[in-house]
Structure 1
């Protein structure tokens, strides 16, 4: 997939403008100039891969208002965290397909709530079709950055996401290494399994600013490598033999010093030295998500100096950014291009 640098990835579509993971969000992301879109992938009870931020869906669908599903509300421990709600793996696709999407951040993005109830949940196979159709409509190559969610958990309940994902790629004709596909996960194990299954495309390890990967915790307990261990110089060089890149929390790229001055870290340069691509999430314009120095006026939902922050991040030479408002990220990227 040929594109300008950095790659602009519509985070769950254009989720700043439409409820995330809906057809409208993905279509709008491409219309606004995104090079690729990022779905979060979880599974139903009957093994259908669906697109939701988490397998717990009370915050992103109307399930809580559907009396026919009241009996499915339950409490589970997912990756060490207890959660109560409704979970995709307790529904068949036929049941889940009757639900409608809702805005996940209604207080931050009240305008998006006008679209609540208008869009159904999508399957992964639906998104493959949407991308192919959008590429033809816009006359350019478009890509997919697929996030495999909670792989160890799903495998523990008999729903191996690597196997299900590989099968979906085959059915859609997306398995090949034509540059359209990137696969990412917070668990290295599932990325290795996908490579072993012959799944093409780049593999990217997602890295939190703190904590420990779930697959490492399950395998090694107290001796497990933390996320911080993977972003040392030695850790990055070790990853270079396992994956093609890393994708990190934005706070690991840009932060403020004690005087309140925004600064960038050397992580991009270190990772590039280890022959790894670097991506970051998530670029958002609202005050709540910006560094204090880039906030403006009163209110978390108000847009601050997002241009300054996006420009600072892109100036590190980063390979890709995830953005809720792809048009804003595209505008900053285009401003940084050398004059012809």
Structure 2
């Protein structure tokens, strides 16, 4: 089909060029010979008209090709050329354009789906890696220490008598059991964090004053901020901002983000946190910004992976839980970070509860 379409275009152009050459040749012959000067002039005018028709045809084709290429470059998905109007060559050209564009759109869609599946697989892979890492880190010392404690009370396969057990052995045993208890408690806390993520309750949206909630949270952190000498600037761009959301879940997210910001500024001079809230159209935006050390670019998505953490003391559940809560409200939680300049978490929420997800 492509070869037939190309052949028709070439033959049409060649045919028109041949006609122009013949007509122009006849006109020039008549003028040069002096036998048909008027007829020759008319014939030359016809040749010029034919040249104009050919140029218009070529320009029109070039414009359509350029439009097609520009649409492909701009990733325009609504591009369509009418296939039932104009000359047959134009109809065939439009049909070919539409077919190529359809194939390219289908290819891009498949590529997008493959990329989505790859990212989903990577997220699950990271989750399993973190789960395995955390569980093994908790269990391995327990197994090792248990073996050490058993060696205090056994000789090969024989249990020692009470006379062979010294006070020093008992003290070591107590310390070892305390360590096992502590590690077991850490593992239980980790398991509870996973349960909290897996069994997150669906939002119960009701209209409430976000302005009032923000002021309450500001009061909640006031003593910690004063003790750590961290400044908190609150900006409410409208005097009264009301949202239709789950007040408890949203409060949990805001508290978690503020705690993270405070921890990031610990032991840093001139620490500043900004909490800004505004409504624009059908969207409520909440931004929490700090001037702490920031988050490396390659970790800015990893921090939302469950149990991933860069802190020595932390479950790695807070940000993952916060993003899930916001997404269940039909919104989004995103991060932008420029180390030691600005780290900004942005919450965008729909103004109505109709967009909520369960």
- TM-score by shorter chain over 0.5: no
TM-score by length of 2: 0.21
Higher helix proportion (structure 1 or 2): 2
Decide which structure has greater strand share: 1
Quick check: which has more Rg, 1 or 2? 2
User: Normalising by structure 1, what TM-score?
Assistant: 0.22
